[in-house]
Amino acid sequence: MGMDLEIITSSFPLLLAGAGVTIEITALSVGFGMAIGIVISLIRMTGIRLLRILGNVYVDFLRGTPLLVQIFLVYFALPALIHHQVDAFFAAVFACSINSGAYVAEIFRGGIESIDRGQMEAGRSLGMNWWQTMRFVILPQAFKRIIPPLGNEFIAMLKDSSLVSVIGFEELTRRGQLIIARTYASFEIWLSVAFIYLIMTFAVARLVGLLERRYKKNEK
């Protein structure tokens, strides 16, 4: 018994369509996660104690619990609470976004803390308040330094998004499961799924490396 190449070639278009959905979920989740993460990281660095506590609780809870459990909370527990069913796409993006936001918050915090404190003092001496200095002075510099970890977060979410298959959302992994249920060609299909994930993560890693080199070149 050998590998059935015909099944691979016939299933590949369906798997590629699933890969497109995976990329969409990942891009939306990390995009929303960046917005959430920036806000949370700034909240945790303010002088308002209550906000710092809330920010820490958010990060600790979402980093300390499995993404799979968070998906279940959004898709199964939330509807029981609000008495309204949420669709799989919303649950997938929402759960992945708040999860990514917690990790991005830590990434931005590290980036901000890596900037010399004199930058904040310089901004304040020019008449800027704390928020203005963060927006126009600190964050632009921090962003250049966090490109590699942000790229790693995108790659991690690209792979972790496979967990949304458990709620029936048809991304790459779920497409593979459905094809296997029809063809029983588990080895060929899972190998194809793994290959597609590898290509996507490799492409993202190369893109991140290109952006990092471009920023370093512009700084010279």
CB 173 within 8 A of CB 165: yes
Is residue 32 domain-resident? yes
Q: What is the dihedral of CA 53, 59, 60, 66, to 10 degrees?
A: 150
- What integer pLDDT is reported at residue 46 of this predicted model? 83
Is residue 70 domain-resident? yes
List the chain pLDDT tens, one digit each, 220 residues: 567 889 999 999 999 999 999 999 999 999 999 999 999 999 998 878 999 999 999 999 999 999 999 999 999 999 999 999 999 999 999 999 999 999 999 999 999 888 888 888 888 888 888 788 888 888 888 888 899 999 999 999 999 999 999 999 999 999 999 999 999 999 999 999 999 999 999 999 999 999 888 877 766 5
51-91 per-position pLDDT tens digit: 999 999 999 999 999 999 999 999 999 999 999 999 999 99
For the chain, report the end-to-end CA distance as a whole number of angstroms: 58
Q: Residues 65-88, buried b or exposed e (16+ Cβ, 10 A)?
A: eebeebbbebbeebeeeeeeebeb
* Number of domains composing the chain: 1
Hey, what amino acid is at 47?
A: G
Residue whose token pair is 């649950």: 91
Is residue 130 domain-resident? yes
Is residue 38 domain-resident? yes
- What integer pLDDT is reported at residue 219 of this predicted model? 63
Is residue 220 domain-resident? no
Domain that holds residue 188: 3-215
Q: 10 Å Cβ neighbour count for 5?
A: 9
Q: What's the CATH number where 114 sits? A: 1.10.3720.10
